[in-house]
Structure 1
Amino acid sequence: MVNTPEQFVEIQKSALEAFQAMALKSVEGFEKLADLNIQAFKASVAESSEHMKSALNIKDARSLGDLASTNLQPAADKFGAYARDVYQIGAETGTEIAKIFEKQIAEGNKQFGAAVEEMTRNAPAGSEGVVTLVKSAVSAANNAYDQVNKAAKQAVEMAEQNIANATKSVSVARPAAPKKAA
Structure 2
Amino acid sequence: MLTTIDELTAAQKAGVQTLFAMTNEAVSGFEKLAQLNLRVLRDGTQRAMDALANGEAPGIAAASRGDLSVIERAALYNRQVFDIFAGTQAAIVRHATAQYEKQIGTVQAELGDAAQRAPAGAEVAVTAMNSAITAANAFYESVWKTVQQAVQTAESNVNVMTRSATSGSHAA
Q: Same fold (TM over 0.5)?
A: yes
Residue 162 of structure 1 aligns to a residue whose secondary structure is helix
2:113 to 91, 97, 118: 118
2:78 to 83, 87, 91: 83
Aligned match of 1:102: 97
Q: Whole-Å Cα distance in 1 between the matches of residues 89 and 131 of structure 2?
A: 31
Give the gaps of 5 or more residues in structure 1.
59-63, 178-182
Shift of 1:119: 2.4
Q: How does 1:1-182 map to 2 (within 5 A)?
A: 1-54=1-54, 56=55, 67-70=62-65, 73-174=68-169
The TM-score with structure 1 as length reference comes to 0.85
Shift of 1:69: 4.3
Give the gaps of 5 or more residues in structure 2.
none
RMSD: 2.1
Alpha carbons of structure 1 residues 125 and 82: separation in structure 2 relative to 1, 3 Å: same
Aligned pairs, number: 171
Structure number with bigger Rg: 1
Q: Whole-Å Cα distance in 1 between the matches of residues 52 and 26 of structure 2?
A: 38
Q: Whole-Å Cα distance in 2 between the matches of residues 40 and 74 of structure 1?
A: 13
Shift of 1:46: 1.2
The C-alpha deviation readout for 1:54-93, integer Å capped at 9, x for no partner, is 5x458xxxxx977424365111111111111111111111
Percent identity over paired residues: 30
Alpha carbons of structure 1 residues 97 and 165: separation in structure 2 relative to 1, 3 Å: same
The TM-score with structure 2 as length reference comes to 0.89
